[in-house]
Structure 1
């Protein structure tokens, strides 16, 4: 079945590819959907609704603390008054005027033999490994994935909870991981935080936790999982994942119980694999893509699924033909695509019948 898409807005936004193929997108419940785009040594913050309404200027601009550091997943406070950067050797909060509010130091994600890190904290070591951070939806906490150097050249990764006012560590959770990268996902209930850690060919680790004001309560879902944490929605009881190599999508309860599983329709010779970009268009609909595994450019490569059963409702038909892009659902009934050639960000919905 083919489902027609309706174009709502389209705007040129250089760097917008990171919204549909990266971690530059940040949303908080029913609040604004924001783009966090690094432009040289600055992090530019855009309210996506305002951008589509014609506002081209960012709502805030923060200096990136470390020259040469272009990795890590950063976060913005709910009111936009400060940014928190996940660096190679520190987590740092920066105010709206560019001032450093606090710094939480940790071990180096890419240590080099003979490099002692003395004298110049801004020097960046080689390596692609990085952590991530996320400001809580109430703006009071900062969750961060960091690495800590131990004795005898050993190290340990940790998930820490920091006080957003001063960077003071409130709690820590040791992790059994060797990350190449990670990202956080804030649950719309304002209580739970998810952490997904990618370890390359060694797989994926997935954790959830909550801070009750005195104690960090965490649980991992890794005994039988090798899955990427993708999305949550306020109108839905669980969270969405995709298998490490794209074999299927799954909807889970918070304890990891599988509520539904979705597989792609077969191609000419074998089933297509799901891309890493998928999520909730709204409480009733999931959108996912098979761009990477579909070599036929004339085929539809975006799919709409029932959000409770993950059964395929149909392929998305765009007015001017197939759209060669990953997708980023906004949770409000619309989704984003990006044309890299024209640097155009587009917002779509399912056309009214």
Structure 2
């Protein structure tokens, strides 16, 4: 059964591709969608509703502390007190006026053994690897994926996950990640306000997924998905009913309990790296056209959020839209039109 998509809003937005293809939305549980757009050496923070209403002016702009650095996944404090930037050799909290609130220094993400550092504040070396950071929804902590150790021997290289005090950047807890050799990573806040997710992409070597909880004394971590190194973390149910992953090559889509237990699975088609909860009852996901020979499987699908059974395929009024979608959790989703540099918002 086809399900008609109804166009709600459109906005022509240079750089808008990242609103759909990147990972810019934060504070999802509050009903406020903040879009983070990196324009040149500035991180712009927009309220999504204001963008679609025609207000192109950002709520606040944070200057990137390392001009020329193109890696890392960054975050902002809930009350916009600072942006937390994930750099090549440090995590840095920066206020809107460009002043530094604090710096957490770590070893270099460049995996070339024994490469020199000049002490240059730009902190840019030749490697393309990077980490990520995320401010907790209550604004008290910054979780960061960093390099703990690096030296003249490849065996000295060690990545880790740290919890920092958002007030002053002090390290409160750390978890060494001896199996991680990241190309990049991203965080995902859990709507329970307690847990934080980390997904580490290692290219052809696979994927690692962790769920962490810091109770003020102990860092507790679930890593039950990592035996096969093949699942990518995408979204969490708004009522805590599980989280979504896609197999590295799109072979299946799964719903998990926090410990990794599989609650539901769909392996009817080859799934793309694009899915999420449209609302508490519905998952929206796209298929991998290049791998699936069945044309009837191609497109964007709505699935039952508890069973992952397909309910229907989305039919756009002007034919197929761009394959990627960005569900917002409120019954709407975004697509991006590259020909017009335009972001569209839809509902079923």
TM-score range relative to shorter protein: over 0.9
- After superposition, residues 167-316 of structure 1 pair within 5 angstroms as 167-175=169-177, 176-221=179-224, 222-224=226-228, 226-264=230-268, 271=269, 273-290=270-287, 292-293=289-290, 301-316=299-314
The Cα offsets for residues 330-353 of structure 1, whole Å up to 9 and x where unpaired, read as 001100000011011111111xxx
**Could you tell me the TM-score, scaled by structure 1's length?**
0.93
> Any unmatched runs of 5+ in structure 2?
none
- Aligned mates of 1:298, 1:53 — CA distance in 2: 36
Q: 1:115 to 1:150 in 2, by over 3 A?
A: closer
1:184: Cα distance to partner?
0.5
Q: List per-residue Cα deviations over 1:281-310 (Å, max 9, x = no partner).
A: 000000011255369999851111110000
Q: Distance in 1 between matches of 2:118 and 2:323?
A: 44
Bigger drift between 296-305 and 127-136 goes to 296-305
So what's the TM-score if we normalise by structure 2?
0.94
Aligned 8 A contact 2:9 2:344 in 1: yes
Deviation, 1:112, is 4.4
Q: Shift of residue 60 of structure 1?
A: 0.9
Shift of 1:150: 4.9
Using a 3 Å threshold, how does the CA distance of structure 1 residues 299 and 152 change in structure 2: closer, same or farther? closer
Aligned to 2:164: 162
Deviation for aligned residue 1:118: 2.6
Tell me how far apart the structure 1 counterparts of residues 189 and 149 of structure 2 sit (CA, whole Å).
28
3-state DSSP of counterpart to 1:346:
strand
| Partner deviation per Cα, 1:311-333 (whole Å, 9 max, x = no partner) | 01111001111112300000011
Alpha carbons 1:16, 1:343 under 8 Å: kept: yes
Cα displacement string for residues 11-57 of structure 1 (whole angstroms, at most 9, x for unaligned residues): 11111111221222323303311111111011111111111122111
> 2:57 aligns to what SS in structure 1?
coil
1:131, CA displacement in angstroms? 0.3
Which residue number corresponds to residue 70 of structure 2? Answer: 70
CA contact (8 A) 1:28 1:137 kept: no
Q: CA RMSD in A?
A: 1.9
Give CA deviations for 1:140-162 in whole Å, capped at 9, x if unaligned: 00000000225653121000000
